[in-house]
Amino acid sequence: MTYPWREAPEGTFAVIGDPVHHSLSPKMHSAAYATLGLPYTYYGIHVPTGEVGEALERLSSLGYQGINVTVPHKEEALNWADVVEPMAARVRAANTLRLKDRACINTDAPGFLDTLGEFHPTEKKVLLVGAGGSARALIVALLSDGYSIKLTNRTLEKAHSLAEELGSNQLSVSESADPDGCALILNTTSASLNKEELPIQWDRAMPGALAYDLMYARPTTPFLAKAFSLGLATMDGLPLLVAQGARSFEWWLGIEAPRTAMREALQ
Ligand code: ATR
């Protein structure tokens, strides 16, 4: 169920965004509550840019306890919060809010590392494509986990500014999307949303490399289709959706999230 924020009903949890109708979070969290017999609701709430603070006040007065935040409000949400965990501050984005004490965390970055749990590369080296907000969160996560990163982007200048801002000798900018020596090839761009291909030099990919697209699409994205046709391992954005959602659930409720039910709800 999706509502404009001024028409939101009473409830307990929600995701805010603009747009928000495509979000799979309501389905996933509602399945988690149903599985555990919890009397909670989770709605999609449409909030235009510039109205985040006002909308959160309203949702708080309607009884909401926790809010997930999706694009483009993660930075506005961070600025709204009084209590900011270090990871959210570093990533400059909050995707999970607790309304009663205006606290926020970022579950995208640690959730992303959760999804790499079974991945044991011989060398922790990544080709990361894109230089937006998602790229920043994943770079922070990957650096904290000891990866070295080759960053490339359509607008190279943006890759340079991001690298400068994050300032790490494990992070370099590359003009070409050359995956040579990289165990992980990570697409953080929205190119897959428009079914557009990226200029990746696939012929230079290592056998056994993992191609990871933050987007998901049925049956697949052009990035993952290409990687799969070359025999590479592939992962789309659904495991990350579950991982970040489960971490939000656990932070709000203090009980283990039913990850299997959450994943099944998305299939
Ligand atoms: P998000 O917060 O989700 O990361 P964003 O800040 O809008 O979103 O960043 C989108 C990223 O996708 C950018 O790196 C963008 O490249 P530019 O900096 O050149 O705009 C990238 N992107 C979007 N569409 C693309 C396409 N068709 N080909 C290559 N890169 C694309």
Does the N-terminal peptide bond of residue 222 adopt cis geometry, omega within 30 degrees of 0?
no
| pLDDT tens per residue, range 105-132 | 999 999 999 999 989 998 999 999 999 9
- 202/132 same-domain check: yes
Do 118 and 232 fall into the same domain? yes
Q: Which residues pair with 83 in a beta bridge?
A: 103
Residue among 27, 35, 33 nearest 12 (CA)? 33
Residues in the chain: 267
Asked, as a colleague might, if the bond just before 9 is cis with ω within 30 of 0, I would say no
For the Cβ of 106 lying below 6 angstroms from any atom of ligand 1, the answer is no
Residues 95 and 163 in one domain: no
Q: Is 198 touching ligand 1 by the criterion CB < 6 Å? A: yes
Q: Is 92 in the pocket of ligand 1 (CB under 6 A)?
A: no
Q: Is 222 in the pocket of ligand 1 (CB under 6 A)?
A: no
Residue 207 belongs to domain with CATH number:
3.40.50.720
Range of the domain at 68: 2-106+240-266
Residues 232 and 169 in one domain: yes
- Predicted pLDDT of residue 118: 87
Contacts of 112 (CB under 8 A, 6+ apart): 137, 138, 141, 240, 243, 244
Q: What is the count of structural domains for the chain?
A: 2
Judge if 206 and 219 occupy the same domain. Answer: yes
The low-confidence residues of the chain, meaning pLDDT below 70, are none
**Judgement on whether residues 66 and 139 belong to the same structural domain of the protein:** no
State in Å: Cα 195 to ligand 1 middle: 13
Angle between helices 25-36 and 238-253 (to 10 degrees): 50
Do 138 and 29 belong together in one domain? Answer: no
Instruction: Please tell me whether the overall predicted TM-score, pTM, comes out greater than 0.75 for this model.
Output: yes
* CA of 235 relative to ligand 1 center, distance in Å: 19
Q: Are 239 and 216 in contact (CB under 8 A)?
A: no
Q: Whose CA is nearest to atom 14 of ligand 1?
A: 130
Same domain, 119 and 227: yes
201 CA from centroid of ligand 1 (Å): 18
Phi, psi at residue 38, to the nearest 5°?
A: -95, 140
DSSP 193-206: GGT----B-GGGPP
- Of the residues 153, 190, 196, 241, which should be mutated to test ligand 1's pocket, given the most ligand atoms within 8 Å of the CB? 190
68 and 46 together in one domain: yes
- Positions of E strands within 70-135: 83-84, 96-98, 103-105, 125-129
Which residue is closest in CA terms to ligand 1's atom 24? 191
CATH code, domain carrying 18: 3.40.50.10860
221 lines ligand 1 (CB under 6 A): no
β strands within 89-200, DSSP E: 96-98, 103-105, 125-129, 148-152, 171-173, 184-187
How many other β-carbons are positioned within 10 Å of the β-carbon of residue 233?
15
Ligand 1 contact, 132 CB (< 6 A) = yes
For ligand 1, the distance from its centroid to the CA atom of residue 198, given in whole angstroms, is: 11
- Both 195 and 248 in a single domain? no
Q: Which single residue is written with the structure tokens 């930075």? A: 75
| Same domain, residue pair 144 and 173 | yes
Extract the tokens encoding 156: 């190279």
CA dihedral 193, 194, 195, 196 (to 10 degrees): -110
